[in-house]
């Protein structure tokens, strides 16, 4: 903004020069209006992303170029492969459950009379609205080893107590549960919007043909919602794969390294242990999955762009 | 729907009158039943947060029913709000979020206008690039950013690490791409005749933007503002990685790092703090739910 004013003022001062003419051109003004955005993207996103690749090829004190030394080092460590596995299990399981729960609840909300839907939708979206770090704290307290409110219920039902965050298996289950709790409402909202856009006539036609409710979902609802389902799952995969808050607050990767995902381990190695190049290397392993998801999303967007 | 039900019921059991409405009624009852179950699941942690924050210290450590408050008290809130640290976190968070909202909206509304309407060489590529930027997560960038900060300190002497205002520089990277993207969508849906008329009347581009586009796309701007505020309020990774002193922390990190002291968890206060921290987004959501949801769905359904 200031640039435009300053440069056009300067142009005016030096008389009606060719610079002035250039400044008056629509595309120049447009470019200047987008300039803050371009600068921000290049300095704070594109450059750091490229810099991460450079960092991953340095040694710990960042004095020597080691090529793929850091990658080589990681590939030989069993912990690294555990984290790859845990990241994949975490992301895939969480996304599947979020998608299923979101789909089912969206149908229930869509079933009830329209005037009640707003209220239910409002209540069910609350987990998404609360900052993840805050709500994870309440889960941490629900999972507390000695005062767990869940275990209190379990004991009263005659079930054994569970060490929610203390045992590797249960800790893995817990981080996924919290992730599903936070993320499912997002799917619910997206699916509900999609469900509303399916024309009523299609269901009527299906019913006249004698379709059961299951066939109506399989042959009418799902195909009509295919785009939204795909894009929501892709978005969610990216966010879940890069998740940090939940694991960090709930278990900080523990017990031992059982629940670490790429992001939390990169933080531990890069910031807490001070090995910046190794941390950068770990975080780079998120790139392949992000690239695949991004390609699909972009393809979908350009496809829809050409339809319009 | 009613017709559909008639047809199904007609095909399956032709002779029983009244079964249509009975089927509908049962479907409705089951829907309410399951919705209630899911609502309990979704609202249980915030509810538990609330009741824990109302409990006195003794009751939290007692072995009584944890799902009930026997002696409700506001002590946790009073203690928390009289602590300087918590108020500092809250103030830092509020200033950072408001500044980020202003910076983001200035950058993204102007850029979106230029990308949606004015077009220049490479503007289509840039629009796609903006969206791609939105997909790059903070967890990929925090390590190189950390290193860049120490480079800035070494070359210019400006210390960026361990200052809350650094967040005002960093958060827009998370908010600007998405806001620009949804604003492009909103601006593109405004009929061309409107800005052509304005140009014919002699309006400059800036006037077209402020007099026509911003008022017409106001719902989109509100949705983008809400998104922006909630993202900056909730951001956890950057402040955790870049700030350490108690006076420089923002709310989420402040609660997680200072209230959890070693093994002594002061759960009443932690829950009170988390509840107050969750309050601003929840209040905005309660009053502007439709805009909030519009912003949420815009990313995928527009564009």
pLDDT digits (tens, 9 = 90+) for B47-88: 999 999 998 888 888 778 888 888 888 888 998 888 878 899
Using a CB–CB cutoff of 8 Å, tell me whether B102 touches chain A. no
Instruction: Based on the fold, state whether residues B89 and B207 are members of the same structural domain.
Output: yes
> What integer pLDDT is reported at residue B18 of this predicted model?
55
Residue B262: predicted pLDDT:
59
Count of domains for chain B: 2
The confidence score (pLDDT) of residue A308 equals: 40
The DSSP result for B30-63, as a single string, is HHHHHHHHHHHHHHHHHHHHHHHHTS-HHHHHS-
Residue B300 has its nearest CB partner, among A46, A122, A228, at A228
Q: How far is CA A164 from CA A42, A170, A223, B112, B139, in A?
A: 43, 5, 39, 47, 26
CB contact under 8 A, B42 and A185: yes
Provide the H-helix boundaries in B164-266.
Answer: 166-170, 172-188, 192-200, 205-207, 214-216, 218-234, 237-242, 251-254
Specify whether B11 is located in the same domain as B127. no
Q: Which chain A residues are closer than 8 Å to B256 by Cβ?
A: 133, 137, 249
Question: Which residues of A are less than 8 Å from B252 in CB distance?
Answer: 131, 133-134
Does B138 lie in the same domain as B38?
no
User: Token pair for residue A196?
Assistant: 């509303």
Q: Among B62, B106, B139, B172, pick the best mutation site for testing chain A contact (most A Cβ within 10 A).
A: B139
User: ipTM of the predicted structure?
Assistant: 0.85
Length of chain B: 303
Instruction: Identify the pLDDT of residue B134.
Output: 85
Of B4, B252, B292, the CB nearest to A207: B4
Report residues of chain A scoring pLDDT below 50. 1-15, 307-308
The model's confidence at residue B276, banded by pLDDT at 50, 70 and 90, is: very high
**Looking at the predicted structure, is the pLDDT value of residue B123 above 90?**
no
Of the pLDDT bands very low, low, confident and very high (cuts 50, 70, 90), residue B294 is: confident
Residue B294 sits at the chain A interface (C-beta within 8 Å) = no
Q: How far apart are CA B115 and CA A33, in angstroms?
A: 9
Same domain for B97 and B210?
A: yes
In a domain, B70, yes or no: no
Q: Is the pLDDT of residue B8 over 50?
A: no
Taking the CA atoms of residue B194, residue B195, residue B197 and residue B198 in that order, the dihedral angle to the nearest 10 degrees is 120
Q: Which of A243, A281, A298 is nearest to A62 (CA)?
A: A281
In a domain, B50, yes or no: no
Contact flag A34-B114 (C-beta cutoff 8 Å): yes
User: Band of the pLDDT at B203, cuts 50, 70, 90?
Assistant: confident
Is there a contact between B252 and A133 if contact means CB atoms under 8 Å apart?
yes
Rounded to whole angstroms, the Cα distance separating B176 from B104 reads: 5
What number is the average pLDDT over the span B174-182?
90
pLDDT value for B5: 45
pLDDT of B1 above 60: no
Nearest CA in chain B to A107: B31
- Is B176's CB within 8 Å of A189's CB? no
Is residue B54, in this structure, part of any structural domain at all? no
Q: What's the mean pLDDT in B116-136?
A: 85
- CATH code at A69-307: 1.10.3720.10
Q: What is the 3-state secondary structure (H, E, C) of chain A?
A: CHHHHHHHHHHHHCCCCHHHHHHHCHHHHHHHHHHHHHHHHHHHHHHHHHHHHHHCCECCCCCCECCCHHHHHHHCCHHHHHHHHHHHHHHHHHHHHHHHHHHHHHHHHHHCCHHHHHHHHHHHCHHHHCCHHHHHHHHHHHCCCCCCHHHHHHHHCCCCCCCCCCCHHHHHHHHHHHHHHHHHHHHHHHHHHHHHCCCHHHHHHHHHCCCCHHHHHHHHHHHHHHHHHHHHHHHHHHHHHCCCHHHHHHCCCCCCCCCCCHHHHHHHHHHHCCCHHHHHHHHHCCHHHHHHHHHHHHHHHHHHHHHC
Residues in chain A within 8 Å Cβ distance of B60: 147
Q: How far is B195 from chain A (nearest CA, A)?
A: 14
> B61 in a domain, yes or no?
no
Cβ separation A127–B42 shorter than 8 A: yes
| Angstroms from B16 CA to nearest CA on chain A | 18
pLDDT for the residue numbered B65: 82
Looking at per-residue confidence, does B286 or B260 come out higher? B286
Measuring CA to CA, how many Å separate B36 from each of A109, A123, B32, B41, B293?
Answer: 11, 10, 6, 9, 21
**Omega of the bond leading into A255 within 30 degrees of 0 (cis):** yes
Same domain, B104 and B23: no
Axis-axis angle for helices B289-301, B218-234 (nearest 10)? 90
Contact A40 B43 (CB under 8 A): no
Contact A241, A89 (CB under 8 A): no
Residue with tokens 């984290």: A83
Classify residue B210 as exposed, middle or buried by CB count within 10 Å of its CB (0-12, 13-18, 19+).
middle
Domain membership flag for residue B69: no
Q: What is the pLDDT of residue B108?
A: 93
Measured CA to CA in angstroms, residue A306 lies from B46, B63, B132 at distances of 44, 63, 18
Partner-chain contact B108 A31, CB within 8 Å: no
Residue in chain B lying closest to A33 (CA): B111
Same domain, B200 and B92: yes
What are the tokens at A16? 């009606």
> CB distance A36–B42 less than 8 Å?
no
The pLDDT value recorded for residue B263 is 60
Q: Do B45 and A138 touch (CB under 8 A)?
A: yes
Same domain as B171, residue B260:
yes
Are B108 and A37 a contacting pair at CB < 8 A? yes
- Determine the distance in angstroms separating the CA of B203 from the nearest CA of chain A, rounded to an integer: 13
User: Alpha-carbon torsion B261, B266, B267, B270, what sign?
Assistant: negative
Partners of A287 on chain B (C-beta within 8 Å) are: 140
Q: At B232, is the pLDDT very low, low, confident or very high (cuts 50, 70, 90)?
A: very high
Cβ-based neighbours of B39, under 8 Å, separated by 6 or more:
A120, A123, A124
The model's pTM: 0.86
pLDDT of the residue at B25: 82
Q: Contacts of residue A305 in chain B, CB cutoff 8 Å?
A: 303
B200 and B113 assigned to the same domain = yes
Residue B71 domain-assigned? no
Range of the domain at B276: 76-301
Between CA B262 and CA B271 the distance in angstroms is 17
Lowest pLDDT segment from A258-272, B95-109, B285-299: B285-299
Smallest Cβ distance to A280: which of B32, B133, B143? B143
Q: Do B135 and A294 touch (CB under 8 A)?
A: yes
Shared domain for B296 and B210, answered yes or no, is yes
Residue in the block written with tokens 């941390």 = A279
* Same-domain check for residues B118 and B231: yes
Beta strands at B260-261 and B264-265: parallel, antiparallel or unpaired: antiparallel
Q: State whether B40 and B91 are in the same domain.
A: no
Q: CATH number for the domain including B101?
A: 1.10.3720.10
Give the burial class of B187: count Cβ atoms within 10 A of its Cβ; 0-12 exposed, 13-18 middle, 19 or more buried: buried
pLDDT at B221 over 60: yes
What does the pLDDT read at residue A246? 92
Give the per-residue pLDDT at B256.
86
Question: Tokens at residue A73, please?
Answer: 């080092």
Q: Quote the mean pLDDT of chain B.
A: 85
Nearest chain A residue to B301 by CA: give it.
Answer: A228
Cβ distance of B274 and A147 shorter than 8 Å = no
* pLDDT greater than 70 at residue B12: no
> B34 with B181, same domain?
no
Calculate the alpha carbon distances from B38 to A180, A183, A184 in Å.
12, 14, 11
Note whether B46 contacts A34, CB cutoff 8 Å: no
CB contact under 8 A, A290 and B278: no
Instruction: Tell me, yes or no, whether B248 lies in a domain.
Output: yes
Tell me, yes or no, whether B51 lies in a domain: no
Interface of B with A in 65-84 (CB under 8 A): 65-67
Percentage of chain B lying above the pLDDT 70 cut: 90
């Amino acid at each position: 903004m200031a640039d435009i004013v300053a440069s056009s003022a300067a142009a005016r001062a030096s008389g009606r020069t060719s610079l002035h003419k250039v400044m008056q051109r629509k595309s120049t003004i447009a470019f200047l209006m987008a300039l803050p955005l371009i600068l921000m993207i290049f300095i704070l996103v594109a450059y750091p992303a490229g810099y991460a690749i450079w960092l991953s090829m340095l040694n710990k004190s960042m004095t020597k170029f080691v090529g793929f030394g850091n990658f080589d080092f990681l590939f030989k460590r069993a912990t690294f492969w555990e984290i790859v596995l845990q990241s994949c299990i975490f992301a895939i399981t969480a996304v599947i459950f979020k998608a299923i729960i979101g789909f089912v609840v969206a149908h229930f909300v869509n079933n009830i009379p329209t005037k009640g839907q707003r209220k239910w939708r409002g209540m069910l979206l609350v987990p998404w609205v609360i900052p993840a770090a805050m709500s994870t704290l309440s889960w941490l307290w629900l999972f507390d080893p000695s005062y767990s409110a869940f275990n209190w219920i379990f004991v009263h039902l005659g079930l054994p107590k569970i060490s929610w965050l203390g045992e590797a298996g249960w800790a893995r289950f817990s981080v996924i549960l919290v992730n599903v709790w936070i993320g499912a409402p997002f799917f619910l909202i997206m699916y509900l919007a999609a469900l509303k856009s399916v024309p009523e006539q299609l269901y009527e036609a299906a019913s006249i043909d004698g379709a059961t409710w299951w066939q109506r979902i399989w042959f009418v609802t799902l195909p009509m919602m295919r785009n939204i389902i795909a894009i929501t799952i892709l978005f969610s995969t990216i966010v879940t794969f890069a998740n940090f808050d939940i694991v960090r607050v709930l278990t900080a990767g523990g017990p031992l390294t059982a629940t670490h995902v790429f992001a939390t381990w990169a933080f531990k190695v890069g910031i807490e242990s001070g090995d910046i190049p190794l941390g950068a290397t770990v975080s780079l392993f998120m790139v392949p999955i992000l690239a695949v998801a991004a390609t699909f999303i972009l393809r979908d967007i350009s496809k829809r762009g050409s339809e319009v | 729907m009613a017709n559909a039900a008639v047809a199904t019921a007609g095909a399956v059991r032709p002779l029983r009158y009244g079964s249509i409405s009975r089927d509908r009624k049962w479907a409705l009852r089951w829907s309410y039943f399951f919705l209630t179950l899911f609502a309990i699941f979704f609202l249980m942690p915030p509810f538990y947060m609330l009741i824990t924050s109302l409990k006195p210290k003794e009751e939290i450590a007692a072995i009584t029913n944890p799902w009930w408050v026997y002696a409700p008290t506001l002590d946790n809130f009073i203690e928390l709000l009289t602590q300087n640290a918590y108020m500092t976190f809250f103030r830092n968070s509020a200033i950072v979020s408001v500044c980020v909202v202003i910076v983001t909206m200035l950058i993204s509304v102007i850029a979106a206008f230029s990308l949606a309407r004015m077009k220049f060489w490479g503007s289509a590529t840039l629009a796609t690039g903006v969206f791609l930027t939105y997909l790059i997560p903070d967890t990929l960038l925090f390590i190189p950013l950390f290193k860049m900060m120490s480079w800035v300190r070494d070359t210019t002497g400006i210390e960026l690490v361990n200052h809350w205002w650094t967040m005002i520089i960093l958060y827009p990277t998370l908010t600007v791409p998405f806001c620009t993207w949804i604003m492009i969508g909103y601006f593109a849906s405004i009929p061309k005749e409107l800005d052509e008329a304005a140009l014919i009347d002699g309006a400059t581009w800036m006037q077209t933007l402020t007099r026509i586009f911003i008022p017409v796309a106001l719902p989109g701007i509100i949705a983008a503002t809400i998104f922006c505020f909630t993202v900056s309020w909730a951001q956890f990774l950057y402040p955790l990685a870049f700030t350490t002193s108690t006076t420089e922390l923002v709310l989420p990190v402040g609660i997680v790092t200072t209230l959890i002291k070693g093994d002594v968890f002061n759960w009443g206060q932690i829950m009170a703090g988390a509840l107050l921290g969750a309050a601003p987004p929840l209040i905005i959501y309660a009053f502007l739910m439709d805009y909030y949801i519009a912003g949420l769905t815009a990313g995928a359904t527009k564009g």
